[in-house]
Structure 1
Amino acid sequence: MVKKAVLCGINNYKSQPDLRGCLNDVENMFRLLTEAGFQEEQIHRLTNEQVIKSNIQQEWQWLVADATPGDALVFHFSGHGSYIPDQQGDEIDQLDEITCLHNMDFYDPETFIRDDEWNEMLQQVPEGVVFTVIMDNCHSGTGTRAIAVDLQGDLKLMAVDRQTSTPSEPLEREDYQQLLFDPNTILPRYLEPPLEFQHQLIAAARSAPLQTAKLNPGAHLLLAACQDNQTAADAYIDGAFHGAFTYHLCKSLRHSPQISSTQLIDTVRTQLSERPFFQDPQHEGDERPGPIFAEGRQTQITQPNPVQPISAQPISAQPISAQPNPAQLNLNMDERLMTTTSNLTPENQRLLIEAYLKLLDTLAGASEQPRIAASESRAANRHLVCVHGISNHPEGYSDPWWRSLAPHVGQVFGEGRLKQTRWEVLWSDLVNQSRALIESPEQAQLRREIEAVLEERQRQTMAASGTVQRDANRATAERGGDFAIDDFLVYMLDPAMRQRIIDRFTKVVAPLLDAGAQIDVISHSWGTVVAYEGLRELAKGRARPGRVANLFTVGSALSIGPVRRSLRSENQDGDRPASVSRWINIDAQGDLVGGMLADMFDVNQEFLNLEPTGCSRSWLGYNLGCAHGSYFVESNLKVNRDIFAAYILA
């Protein structure tokens, strides 16, 4: 039996931003494997300029060419990852994940390795070989980004402060290089693709038919640093720079060499969360008993029956709960539907799916609650929920929101008809009716606290624009000084009213989740508080088969300290609601209500200080009302196309 390994690490990229801990990862893995019985001469190390495609292909051949059943082989990579638009048409998400090599160039396929190429290489591994792949990089920028490309295509660099977990402002390359030596910064191992690639991806996702999911070939074990919507941390740990995933993986195996592969990932996940690093390591493949690098173990290879493409949008499978319920029946039927339609004509497939969706509607529940329309042409039971802020909002308030978003999301929500695939949470009528003519002492105190925060933000904005004190009154008048918080004081100080408003939210969202829908929530202003507490409320009950794919908080009042302190006590921990897959926060320049949330909340991505579309900037700054409402202007492509649509289509 033979033990062999290839270890790759890149700190110094030829023309891309550098990293710091990848070479230490290689040495850490080298020591771990020698401790596990690998001979030093059987461990090949490629570092920096050695990590190019031809060398990796050559080393891969050395690794697998003479392998026999029972041999233990390891491949480890530490460096940047990214994605490009899918070139083969075989990816459901319309993108190819890539591993970025030393000479990385997005326009040269010889400088990166696509996931399809990795799959082809893995097919070379003989049956019965104990093969382990460890990847300490990330292929998505939907977590905190280190590298960003602005609308002009210029490279912008960012880092993350490990004390606050918040991204920096875009940096010049020289400043970024200085941060390489700063132990208080975390550098995500991700490269943002060129802007044209991102637009290609969005366009492809709008029009692409359903494709068969690509199976991972062979019986390998893949241990990956994070989920697709997170980034792998390159950080200063215990006196040196490391990849957080590789460091804690090696540490865990040294402490408990006999643990299984799933126990290992669970242990690493716990250690990462305690640091804290916001990444959730992934385990792909069957569980392997410990020691995981041991040779001599025969590995069973099973090939699932392939699923053939059908000419309709996929029906998303949802987790099966412990107790039988309609949602569980839905999942079982999803599986049977996907496996029985392959022999039908396209027309019969369509009719079968329509009949299936009608049955789902029947199972979904009461006629007074949101119903999934069986006749809608939509992607995977997808729905949009809108939550407004304060002041009067009659039914139909989201129509301008939809007009701004619709050109960029194709048929994800069908035609986006109200009460079919687009839903509105309406709550302003409750607070408008109950607003007191005379404030209570509690209301007056909370008002003063909130206004103090907003006024301080206003002063900082005026100071940045060069406004001197004698111009403050004029600035307040011209930019808008009425913060209009009367309605929301009622929400924060009246528990019964708060519950009534939250009930308005859950009445819309709960039936959708119960029907297994995938939801995108766009909440604005003070409505972000309603959405957050409403989703936390739903998490307290039974498990629901649906998911909130994206929670967008726009111009969010959650950024205001007194508002955070007025949340229900169980919600002040800032946890992401359990049903939410991604939380994206957006704020525009001049919007004093919105701001950063990542300092207090488990937000996946923030876009701060965006230019407020449609607002003219005077020497006093942007008008407050204009900036606060700028997100839903049709010409605001940055928000509606590059953020909302990009995440909805991801």
Structure 2
Amino acid sequence: MEMRKRLATLVGCNYPGTRNELRGCVNDVEAMKDLLVERFGFDAADIVVLTDRPGSQVLPTGANVRRALGHMVDRAEPNDVLFFHFSGHGTLVPAARPHNGHHHRDEAIVPCDFNLITDVDFRDLVDRLPKDATFTMLSDSCHSGGLIDDEKEQIGPANSPISDRRRRPTRRQPKYIPYESVFSHLISLSGLTSPHVADHLSAIFGPDASPKFIKGAPLHHGDDNGILLSGCQANETSADMSAGEVDGTERKAFGAFSNAVQMVARGWEEREAASYREVVERAREVLRDQGFEQHPCLYCNDENAGKPFLMMDGK
């Protein structure tokens, strides 16, 4: 059987030197690259890494992240495996359309230049996939549940209980920037007085702004091959842990969810094929045992929920 192609885009934003600075996001994606190569058979040449580590030649701006993701999807052929890992801040933005007659806020990730990438952007990428290719997104950011627009909830607030926490970890920071702070920052960049975020994003980023704000969200119907593993529910925050001792071992700074998934993956037996559902369930157990107050979620169609994570059985 011909080996399917495995492509990855990994993005870590620490926002160094800003009031929003995090510590572990660059470490998260560097560790994920090692895991993909060593455990899942990815070719290092097929992995694109964008970070804002000082000295990085290509920064994880909104335009650069969209360009990398778009190129990855354009390279994809039927049955290929695509993977996107984001570690950084998330936020909630005004919804493009009302839900059940009410206006609400949708999820977005925050690149280093605040050119927001939204649930609509990810829906567009998934809708462009060739037949039977899969797009797995692991987002270690706050309010990340629902980051692929209209994806079906498999594990999340509607169908899983909240378990008790055993202890409360220290040295953690939420990976969240309130929308009001995002909006204020965009106003300072655009110099406009408009109350509409689309005006500011268009003025600053032009055609590189998310179509969510320019064109609105297109309606989507039917199943697809988008798979979202979110670090927490849409109403929760994900934790960024500073460097220090963890479980008796001195550790670099890290994102709690990224670390949990990596622990789960490295703990599997070589021939074991854990499903996407099992990965999220086990990551929840790890976070529970470590005392984190966040609940990873899984969004995908019913068939993909039972498939092996990143096709680790070679199928």
TM-score by length of 2: 0.69
Name 2:110's counterpart in structure 1: 100
Of 72, 79, 90 in structure 2, the residue corresponding to residue 70 of structure 1 is 79
Q: Counterpart of 1:139 in 2: which secondary structure?
A: coil
Q: Any idea what SS the aligned residue of 1:194 has?
A: helix
**How far did 1:27 drift?**
1.2
**2:291 matched to which residue of 1?**
276
Q: Does 1:264 align with 2:307?
A: no
Contact 1:222 1:283 in 2 (8 A): yes
Closer, same or farther: CA 213–44 of 1 in aligned 2, 3 Å: closer
Contact 2:62 2:113 survives alignment (8 Å) = no
Distance 1:14 1:85, change over 3 A: farther
The letter of the residue matching 1:24 is N
Deviations 1:284-318 (A, max 9, x none): 11313325344875xxxxxxxxxxxxxxxxxxxxx
| SS of 1:132 mapped into structure 2 | strand
- Pair 1:242 & 2:260 matched: no
- The answer to whether the aligner puts 1:253 opposite 2:296 as a matched pair is no
Cα distance in 1 between the residues matched to 2:225 and 2:17 = 35
* CA deviation string 1:455-487 (max 9, x = no partner): xxxxxxxxxxxxxxxxxxxxxxxxxxxxxxxxx
CA contact under 8 A between 1:22 and 1:243: conserved in structure 2? yes
Structure 2 counterpart of 1:11: 14
1:608-638 deviations in whole A, cap 9, x for unaligned? xxxxxxxxxxxxxxxxxxxxxxxxxxxxxxx
Q: 1:64-93, CA deviations, whole angstroms, 9 ceiling, x for partnerless residues?
A: 11311221110110000001222x225555
Q: Deviations over 1:597-616 (max 9, x none)?
A: xxxxxxxxxxxxxxxxxxxx
User: Match of 1:292, SS?
Assistant: helix
Deviations 1:379-421 (A, max 9, x none): xxxxxxxxxxxxxxxxxxxxxxxxxxxxxxxxxxxxxxxxxxx
Q: Match for residue 308 of structure 2?
A: 290
Given candidates 113, 122, 125, the residue that maps to 2:117 is 113
CA contact (8 A) 1:6 1:59 kept: yes
Deviation digits for residues 132-151 of structure 1 (CA, Å, limit 9, x no counterpart): 110000128xxxxxxxxxxx
The residue number in structure 2 matching 1:643 is: none
Structure showing the higher helix proportion among its residues: 1
CA RMSD across the alignment: 3.0
In the superposition, relative to structure 1, how do residues 253 and 163 fare at CA in structure 2: closer, same or farther (>3 Å)? closer
Q: Is the 8 A contact 2:70 2:125 kept in 1?
A: no
Mark the CA change 1:217 to 1:289 in structure 2 (over 3 Å): closer, same or farther: closer
Distance 1:138 1:291, change over 3 A: closer
Matched residue SS, 1:5: strand
What's the secondary structure of 1:283's corresponding residue?
strand
CA distance in 2, matches of 1:194, 1:231: 16
Distance change in 2, residues 1:118/1:90 (3 Å): farther
Alpha-carbon distance change, 216 to 46 in structure 1, aligned in 2, over 3 angstroms: farther
5 Å matches for 1:194-343? 194=180, 218-236=224-242, 237=246, 238=249, 239-256=251-268, 258-285=273-300, 286=302, 287-294=305-312
Structure 1 segment 216-615 matched on structure 2, within 5 A: 218-236=224-242, 237=246, 238=249, 239-256=251-268, 258-285=273-300, 286=302, 287-294=305-312
Match of 1:137 in 2: 141
Instruction: Indicate if the aligned counterparts of 1:80 and 1:191 stay in contact, CA closer than 8 A.
Output: yes
Change beyond 3 A, Cα 1:262–1:215? same
5+ residue gaps, structure 1, are 105-110, 141-161, 166-183, 202-211, 298-650
For 1:66 and 1:195, the matched residues in 2 are separated by: 36
Structure 2 SS opposite 1:218:
coil
Q: CA deviation at 1:96?
A: 2.7
Q: Give the match's secondary structure for 2:284.
A: helix
Aligned residue type for 2:6? K
- In the alignment, the residues of structure 1 paired with residue 140 and residue 221 of structure 2 have an alpha-carbon distance, to the nearest angstrom, of 22
* Conservation of the 8 A alpha-carbon contact between 1:132 and 1:293: no
Q: What SS does structure 1 have at the residue aligned with 2:310?
A: coil
> Percent same amino acid at aligned positions?
29
Structure 1 residues 187 and 114: alpha-carbon distance in aligned structure 2, compared to 1, 3 A threshold: same
Q: Does the CA-based 8 Å contact 1:71-1:296 persist in structure 2?
A: no
Please tell me the residue identity of whatever aligns with 1:265.
V
Which of the residues 162, 167, 171 maps onto 1:185?
Answer: 171
The letter of the residue matching 1:89 is R
Distance 1:131 1:293, change over 3 A: farther
Give the direction of change, closer, same or farther, for the CA distance of 1:69–1:82 in structure 2 (3 Å limit).
same
* Aligned mates of 1:46, 1:81 — CA distance in 2: 17
1:124 maps to 2:128: yes
What TM-score results when the alignment is normalised by the length of structure 1? 0.34
Q: Which has the higher relative contact order, 1 or 2, with Cα contacts under 8 A spaced 6 or more apart? A: 2
Match of 2:125, SS state, is helix
Distance in 2, Cα, partners of 1:23 & 1:221: 23
> Which of structures 1 and 2 has the bigger CA Rg?
1
> Match for residue 5 of structure 2?
2
- Distance in 1 of aligned mates of 2:138 and 2:182: 31
Contact 2:126 / 2:225 at 8 angstroms: preserved in 1?
A: no
Residue 295 to residue 50, structure 1, CA distance change in 2 (3 Å): farther
Counterpart residue number, 1:330? none
Cα pair 2:24 2:241 within 8 Å, conserved: yes
